[in-house]
Amino acid sequence: MGEAKFELNDVTLKRPGRNAAGEVTTVIILNRITTSFLKGKITAVLGPSGSGKSSLLRLLNRLEDPAAGRITLDGQDLKSLNIFTLRQRVGMVWQLPTLFPGTVLENISYGPRLRGISLSRARAEELILMVGLGTELLDRRADSLSIGQQQRVSLARTLANEPEVLLLDEPTSALDPTAAANILHLMVDLKSRLGLTIIFVTHILDQARQVADEVLFLHHGEIVEAAPAQQFFTAPQEPRSRLFLSGELEG
Amino acid sequence: MQYINIGYGDLVLALILVGITLAVSLWQRLDLHGDLFVGTLRTFVQLTAVGYLLQVIFNLNRWYLVVLALGIMLLVAAANAYRRQQERWPGLFFIMLLAIALGGIITLAIVIGIVLKVKPWYQPQYIIPIAGMIVGNAMIGAALAINRLTGEIKAHRGEIEAALSLGATAYLAVLPYLRSALRAAMLPTISTMMTVGIVQLPGMMSGQIIAGASPAAAVRYQVVVTYMVAAATALTTIMATLLAYRYYFTPNHQLKPPAQNNKT
């Protein structure tokens, strides 16, 4: 076992929602989650849609707070950390690129500028090359890029903050297979080159097989199984894991 | 030049105009005659009632009656701006009231105290119509701005959360949408400033001319009124949006989950 980057202790997330009868009520999204994410590893968070995967990520950079339980980063309670510092340390990329109006360079400079740092052109070029794009794109308008390119710029924008952790929420789902494969390579590359801890939500088993060191498998807001990827894919311990791996588990 | 007074008999003659509207509605089968009938009656009753009320305020000429009238104006305007919202929440009415009141009173004070130098300040002849124009426009501006802000936040949750996740404060994350809400609310006023006098003669200026003022004097009033409407709209909308955006965020710079129970 490696060192834990994040530790979750009995974490429950609730949100306003509607029940089967359509009445407004409180819905339990994550129920008493206790687990940890290892430093410098890629953890794939797996599960059918609606299992709470994305919600789990949102707790780690405090886009939402749990109703109960405790989350620590390097042993420190998230609530004791400055929220802006926390979000700089824990970067996030979504399914769909969410670039701001303006040029690619302006997008990449956004995070550092919030801290009063002016990103150098050389550093911006380094970042855009790191995500596999050409430096000539820096002065293009962000909305003139393809979705695949925009997704890489989103990643470069997050990396400009020099995070320790990357949260990726189905980062390839809007991409064609080639672009998706490139993002996966990039994840492995970032892990080994920068030592990033990567937590990666996906519903595509093959992607997890290719890149994950660890697997956390969720179903209906609860942990079914947390295991090294190798073990999870070859010898799953739980009946629901086996059903999921054979494609028979309903959401 | 002589000012022609309209008597009640003349008002009956004005029903010829309603007859024309009615004829068009019947001829083209617009099915508007019911509403037209109610509208004709309401126009008469409401305006007559307001006329009598104003007459009382004018005759008594007391500062507290003027303040009371202004207070009622503000409450009605805030309720109206609130009612026009696609999404309502507790506290929004008070934000509307505060924004319209502050924007309106600051503008009113400048016009009455500095530009017109009305003495005493509460002379109903000046303060009532001017406050009416200010509050009416502030109300429209606030209603537009908050509706737009709500819509923008709903449509751009992804960008807002992306900005937050990069370390932006709630204010910085929502700033582009605050700006577009303010622009949307101010644009009609600015467009009016561009075409006033060319495309339309404003009602107040027309009224002054009919009442016997020289066109040059009426125009100077209208210039002040146009600037004043722009200032009141700007002040009210900026206060309303700056107060309202906070509702969508927690104190920890988190965008709240979308509302589940808001129906229009």
- The CA distance from A200 to the nearest CA of chain B, in Å, is 16
Helix B124-155 vs helix B157-165: crossing angle, to nearest 10? 80
CA distances, B201 to each of A203, B64, B192 (Å): 64, 34, 11
Q: Which class for A134: exposed (0-12), middle (13-18), buried (19 or more C-beta within 10 A)?
A: exposed
pLDDT tens digits for A92-136?
Answer: 999 999 999 999 999 999 999 999 999 999 999 999 999 989 999
Any chain A CB within 8 A of the CB of B175?
A: no
Quote the tokens at residue B159.
């960008």
Q: Which of A54, A38, A58 is nearest to A46 (CA)?
A: A54
- Say yes or no to pLDDT of A171 above 60: yes
Domain of residue A214 covers: 4-245
What's the pLDDT at B263? 39
Please report, for the domain that includes residue A170, its CATH number: 3.40.50.300
pLDDT tens digits for A194-247?
Answer: 999 999 999 889 999 999 999 999 999 999 999 999 999 999 999 999 999 998
Nearest to B166 among A15, A85, A87 (CB): A87
Task: Find chain A residues with C-beta within 8 A of B252's C-beta.
Answer: 62, 65, 83
Return phi, psi of residue B164, to 5°.
-60, -45
| pLDDT band per the 50, 70, 90 thresholds, residue A22 | confident
| pLDDT band per the 50, 70, 90 thresholds, residue A251 | low
Is residue A101 domain-resident?
A: yes
| pLDDT band per the 50, 70, 90 thresholds, residue A6 | very high
Q: Which of B207, B205, B226, B228 is nearest to B216 (CA)?
A: B205
Give the chain A residue whose CA is nearest to the CA of B250.
Answer: A64
Is residue A251 domain-resident?
A: no
Any chain B CB within 8 A of the CB of A60?
A: no
Is residue A250 domain-resident?
A: no
- The total number of structural domains in chain A stands at 1
Contact B147, B132 (CB under 8 A): no
Break chain B into its structural domains and give their ranges: 1-60, 61-248
Cβ contact, residue pair A63, B163, below 8 Å: no
What's the pLDDT at A203? 84
Any chain B CB within 8 A of the CB of A113?
A: no
Give the chain B residue whose CA is nearest to the CA of A108.
Answer: B166
Beta bridge partners of A44: A200, A215
Q: Give the pairing type, strands A42-46 and A197-201.
A: parallel
pLDDT tens digits for A140-149?
Answer: 999 999 998 9
Any chain B CB within 8 A of the CB of A84?
A: yes
Separation CA B29–CA B26 (nearest Å): 5
| SS3 state of residue A8 | strand
CA distances, A185 to each of A18, A155, A156, A182 (Å): 40, 13, 15, 5
Q: Which of B159, B166, B171, B174 to mutate to test the interface with A (most CBs of A within 10 A)?
A: B166
Question: Mean pLDDT in each 10-residue stretch from start to end of chain B (264 residues)?
Answer: 84 93 92 91 94 92 94 96 93 97 97 94 93 95 96 96 97 97 94 86 88 91 94 97 97 88 41
pLDDT tens digits for A31-84?
Answer: 999 999 999 999 999 998 889 999 999 999 999 999 999 999 999 999 999 999
Is residue A43 domain-resident?
A: yes
- Say yes or no to pLDDT of A178 above 90: no
Task: Find chain A residues with C-beta within 8 A of B166's C-beta.
Answer: 87-88, 91, 110-111, 114, 157-158, 161
